[in-house]
Amino acid sequence: MSKKTARRKHVPQRTCVGCREVLPKRSLIRIVRTPEAVQVDLTSKMAGRGAYLHDRRSCWERGLKGALAHALKTELTDRDRERLTEFMSSLPEDETTHEERGYA
């Protein structure tokens, strides 16, 4: 009798546009395209087309190089870029294990 219960929580999965890894939505940061701007959506509730990125710089750098604009089907303006770069600079530089960080 084995008691290996596979965790069957229904977790929405999203793809990080930086590295294409698929992860539970809540361990990624949502970026949303609104009519005004492309911005970080920390509430995950803003209306608009969204894309997801890890909270690590390497993914943001890749995202800012084009993957993000592509996912959002738009072009980043200088202001968008500025805003996103600013957010990126607040992120840890090292890769972190998301499973262990326990975002809630």
Rule CB under 5 A: which residues touch Zn ion?
16, 18-19, 54, 59
Q: How far is the CB of 49 from Zn ion (least distance, A)?
A: 19
Q: Under a CB-based contact definition with an 8 Å cutoff, are residues 32 and 49 in contact?
A: yes
CB proximity list for 61: less than 8 A, separation 6 or greater = 18, 88
Write down the least CB distance from residue 19 to Zn ion, Å.
Answer: 3
Of 20 and 79, CB closest to Zn ion:
20
Nearer to Zn ion, 79 or 92 (CB): 92
| Least distance in angstroms from the C-beta of 11 to Zn ion | 17
33/54 with CB nearer Zn ion: 54
Contact 34, 49 (CB under 8 A): no
Least distance between Zn ion and beta carbon 42 (Å): 17
Pairing, β 29-33 against β 38-41 = antiparallel
Nearer to Zn ion, 27 or 39 (CB): 27
78, with CB counted inside 10 A (0-12, 13-18, 19+), is exposed
